[in-house]
Amino acid sequence: MTAPLLGRRALIAGGTGLMLAGCDRVAQHPVARTILFKGEEMHRGLQRALFDRGALAPEFRPDQMSPRFRTNGTRDPGTAGYAALRAGRFADWRLAIDGLVARPLSLSLSDLGTFPQRAQITRHDCVEGWSAIGKWQGPRLGDVLKAAGLRDTARYIVFRCADLYGGMPYYESIDLIDAFHPQTILAWAMNDRFLDVGHGAPLRLRVERQLGYKHAKYLMQVTAVSSLAAVGKGRGGFWEDNVDYDWWAGI
């Protein structure tokens, strides 16, 4: 895998060298400049797309947090099962970690509290055109997957939720790069309080390099799979399967 990559890099470097050799006069020309700089921009964009999946999303200061963080999609799952869990303050709620793992887990909120915790103030961007900055806290998804012994054959992580949206189950999925991204957490706290029902109690995904609809609320089950073909209608998520949203919602 490294050889072709090195080859390509050498080619790019070689190309730049060639251009530099005879270009100081060409570079003065306004049209040539536009083309050169456009090329540079495209190259950087491509590089970002290929190599920067691990880059961190911006984090903000406490004074930048939105005074009001709206809710969207399901605001209360409202099923009998969820109402019972809520009435018991989620003491009986468990998160299943299953699929392609060596040790399937069933985790309570206090079990999730035994993992190292990460807190982050980030901006949520909904595809509908609104954003809000909030603080989230919880264990890293990557640590939880490691504890379950993720198998080599796993390629995607699927999230199943307690709610029905428009009568249909809500689910989402991400790849392993996002799953192990340092800001991808299973958040049980928002703005220093337990998550409220509107924002996904008792647990939601924060996957900060993706748009809002990927941040599954009301998490019940996290499943490692090798393919998305057998998940829902095969496109990897509620919106992907039922509307025409892209599976890839990277920001």
Ligand X SMILES: Nc1nc2c(c(=O)[nH]1)N[C@H]1C(S)=C(S)[C@@H](COP(=O)(O)O)O[C@H]1N2
The residues binding ligand X (CB under 6 A) are 70-74, 126, 161, 163, 165, 170, 198-200, 212-213, 215-218
* Smallest distance from ligand X to CB 122, Å: 12
* Smallest distance from Mo ion to CB 92, Å: 29
| Among 54-62, 87-95, 150-158, 207-215, the segment contacting Mo ion (CB under 5 A) | 207-215
Question: Among 99, 212, 232, 236, which residue sits at the site for Mo ion (rule: CB under 5 A)?
Answer: 212
Specify the residue, 93 or 159, whose C-beta has the smaller distance to Mo ion: 159
Residue 242 partner contact from ligand X, Mo ion, none using kind-dependent CB cut-offs of 5 to 8 Å: none
| Among 77-85, 100-108, 123-131, 217-225, the segment contacting Mo ion (CB under 5 A) | 123-131
C-alpha distance from residue 250 to each of 50, 120, 139 (Å): 12, 18, 22
* Smallest distance from Mo ion to CB 205, Å: 13
Q: How is residue 137 written in tokens?
A: 């806290």
* Smallest distance from Mo ion to CB 101, Å: 29
200 scored as a contact of Mo ion (CB under 5 A) = no
Question: Among 188, 213, 238, 247, which residue sits at the site for Mo ion (rule: CB under 5 A)?
Answer: 213
139 scored as a contact of Mo ion (CB under 5 A) = no
Residue 170 partner contact from ligand X, Mo ion, none using kind-dependent CB cut-offs of 5 to 8 Å: ligand X
126 scored as a contact of Mo ion (CB under 5 A) = yes
Note the residues at the interface with Mo ion (CB under 5 A): 126, 212-213
